[in-house]
Structure 1
Amino acid sequence: MKKFMAIFLISVGIITIFYPKIADQYSYYQKNKLIKEFRSSNAAVASFSEVNRLLEIKYDEDMPEVEEEVNPEIIGSSVIGMIEIGKIDLLLPILYGATEANLKFGAGFLEGTAPLGGTGNTAVAAHRSHAFGKLFNRLDELTTGDQIAIYTNQEMTNYIVQDIKLVLPSDISVLEDTGHDIITLITCHPMTNPTHRLIVHAKRIEEGA
């Protein structure tokens, strides 16, 4: 009995130590597959040389191929775009709906806000992973003047950060129409026991501006 308990405790210890890394790798693989799926199914995005360069460098070369299917939790959820923030080395798929299942692998578009790249206030939310550089983990490093790119199956839209602030979770004023075409990025703050939301407002850069 003592031998069995010892083996059991050792097994539990091993699982406890390695589970976070395994879960993180699984999430990374799923994100990779979603981005590849979006690229392959959207000819307009496939024609953007810059996004193709980023995809090839960050995903095709740096990661081994994974043959597993996309997690059943997100089947039925559509990848509607991608967000790229060069300053923090971020490239994430954007899925329709900020559900827990979607936010495990990417960013979620908040239903009821302006469409990606459209007119009005577009809201996108993501978790802040405890692993450095994952999801919106480094969003707090942004400053005014930094650029954000949003890719859809129709176009690429560039934004420039105008405002960064912390608000209470109940403050929905950050989603209001400002009279400008903006994107609002939302995540929790601080990462441990979050009490507020970190908000990044970025204004659309008009062509030729």
Structure 2
Amino acid sequence: MRFYFPFLIMIGISLSLSAQDILECNRYRIISISDSLDPGAGPCVYFQMTTDTNTYNTGYTDIFWVTDSLDTLTIYNQWGGWLPTTSGVLNDTLDYLLAFLPGHASFPNDFSGKLVLRNPECEIPFQYRDLQTSISKGHHLIDVYPNPTRDLLSIRHPTGLLPRSVKITDKQGRLISLSHAPPTQLDLHQLPPGIFHLEITWEHGEVSFHSISKI
């Protein structure tokens, strides 16, 4: 995903939504969110969004995070990415990576606000404390190293759980690989340099998300 600094950062945008827009907005859901680091863009927020609709398969949409106090956290990037859809053209769950504006370096654990979409005009209310997923709340204790890496990447759960599957996607959410019953050391030498995202499903169903840098 490319990042562009706009000539004007729009703060506290208020959108006039129709009843149909609001209905469709309610069918998009944030299922994971974490901090990340992009070599070119700096501190970023990585998140996943899912849906059960195919109404808004409109191509690229601009997206950015705004708090209830009208503080814009991420760059209005004037490029955006595809929305998730059930149409089969893309996936019903997609990954996103947005660069933080100066003055912000991480996504607040007490965040209350919205994800604003442009094309279509849409606002998705979001409160961090209401995030309902099976993500490990202590996933920061999971070792994924070395990061950055040139070839081998080790993954280790603090309680000794073994990985049941590992999914690797690129910044645009495209699937790179999916391994079942993988080893605890992954060979990434064939990947090109860049940022990739790992979704690790552990024994007993626990899931953790990690951003890695391949150099």
TM range, normalised to the smaller chain?
under 0.3
Find the structure with the greater CA-based Rg. Answer: 1
TM-score, L = length of structure 1: 0.27
Determine which structure has the larger strand proportion and give its number: 2
Determine which structure has the larger helix proportion and give its number: 1
